[in-house]
Amino acid sequence: MDYHCTYPSIEKRSSLTQTLQIHFLKIMINTVVKKLSGMPVKAVIGGFHLIGLPKLNTMAGSKSEIQNIARKILDYPVQSIYTGHCTGQKAYAVLKSVLGERLRHLHTGTIIEI
């Protein structure tokens, strides 16, 4: 299992940075929420690896599966989700339909203020 997780807590600000497959997200957020004693997570930042391979214009799951992932994210005290290219445009659109303004694109050079 290869993943990276940081959860700085500076002046009551917290963020969660992740680069891992989506099925580890629930475990990671649970761990951070416990460590932060119920404090809200300001942001989850990273790629969700939902792009279909080898065809880049596909999803790594069905529309309903990706909608369920988004609904599960809504169960947590996460204020913003930033995701990059490995989520894929189609999966991003499905996530966005459920997560709304909480979901944002992460591009090279993006500045995120927490």
Give per-residue pLDDT as tens, 35-74: 877 677 888 887 777 887 777 788 888 898 889 888 988 9
Assigned domain for 16 exists: no
Host domain of residue 76: 26-86+101-108
Q: Which residue has the higher pLDDT, 15 or 99?
A: 99
Give per-residue pLDDT as tens, 83-112: 888 888 898 999 999 999 999 998 888 888
**Tally of structural domains, the chain:** 1
Assigned domain for 52 exists: yes
Assigned domain for 10 exists: no
Assigned domain for 82 exists: yes
pTM score, two decimals? 0.75
Which residues, other chains included, contact 25 with Cβ-Cβ below 8 Å and sequence gap of 6+?
Answer: 18, 44, 48, 69, 73
DSSP 19-79: -S-GGGHHHHHHHHHHHTTTPPEEEEES----B-SS-TTSBSS-HHHHHHHHHHHTTS-EE
Assigned domain for 13 exists: no
Assigned domain for 18 exists: no
